[in-house]
Amino acid sequence: MTSYPSPAFRLGIVTGLQFEADIARRAVAASNAPGQDGIMVLSGGPGPENAGRAVAELMTFGVSALLSFGVAGGCAPDIPAGTAIVATAIHDLGAQGGSPPFYTNREWQRRLRSILLGNTLVEQAALASTDMSVVGSTEKQSIHADTGAAAVDMESATVARASVDAAIPFMALRVILDPADLNLPRSAMEGFTGTGETDSLAVLKSTMRRPNEIIPMVRLAISDHKARKALAKTADAAAPFFGAI
């Protein structure tokens, strides 16, 4: 028997990129489930500062739980693009002097993994969160060696910290975009705007100025396609509540 939340339950979903928010919103709307009007999705833009502003706005909405959702860079070897990571913990690598990991809610982990099994590739593992983009394969693999994190993003630690401060549960659900052995080409990074959107023309112009990046860009494009498809499939399976209840 399916259970639905009380009218007071509200889930806040934070993304760094606009396409991630679009995917989450479409999945929530398509679920047609009771209580979906209690779910708010916000993309504040990439990075901890933007995530902080999004979280602050969600807090005024009176959220009962927070989810960090989107794509991430792979850190663990042999985890391919398109794999969903249900976070067990968040290592905040941007914290001054370091900080203990933030642990996600175990029941939420269990429910979300159960929902996703059979629908997409899924791993239950720790994530790392930084205050700047991690583009090199050596750096990504070093993060895994130092922390055990399977992937890295720029928003989840902010979401985790806000949740702890507010004494509400949190989760991070991230899909691997660039595997651990893939160096992100400079051309790809120049296409991201501060609002979390992608300037395709800027990417194309940058690639044309750097013909040596054409092959890496092709590989990245293939990984990006896999990740977006998997993120949509993950959202469709988990929406509207993403295992929060």
pLDDT in tens, 115-148: 999 999 999 999 999 999 998 999 999 999 999 9
- Residue 2: pLDDT band by 50, 70, 90 thresholds? very low
CB count within 10 Å of CB 146 equals 12
- Domain containing 73 equals 11-238
Rounded mean pLDDT of the chain?
90
Q: Looking at the domain assignment, is residue 62 inside a domain?
A: yes
Q: Looking at the domain assignment, is residue 3 inside a domain?
A: no
What does the pLDDT look like over 10-23, one tens digit per residue?
A: 999 999 999 999 99
Q: Looking at the domain assignment, is residue 119 inside a domain?
A: yes
Among 63-72, 161-170, 213-222, the minimum mean pLDDT is found in: 213-222
Which residues are CB-neighbours of 96 under 8 A, at least 6 positions away? none
Q: Looking at the domain assignment, is residue 5 inside a domain?
A: no
Domain count, the chain: 1
Q: What is the CATH number of the domain that holds 61?
A: 3.40.50.1580
- Residue spans of alpha helices (H) in 38-133: 48-60, 106-116
Rounded CA separation 168/138 (Å):
35
Q: Looking at the domain assignment, is residue 2 inside a domain?
A: no
160: enclosing H helix or E strand: helix 156-166
Q: What is the mean pLDDT of residues 204-215?
A: 63
Quote the pLDDT of residue 1.
36
Q: Looking at the domain assignment, is residue 152 inside a domain?
A: yes
Q: Looking at the domain assignment, is residue 243 inside a domain?
A: no
Q: Which pair of tokens denotes residue 123?
A: 């791993």
Q: Which pair of tokens denotes residue 30?
A: 């398509």
Q: Looking at the domain assignment, is residue 117 inside a domain?
A: yes
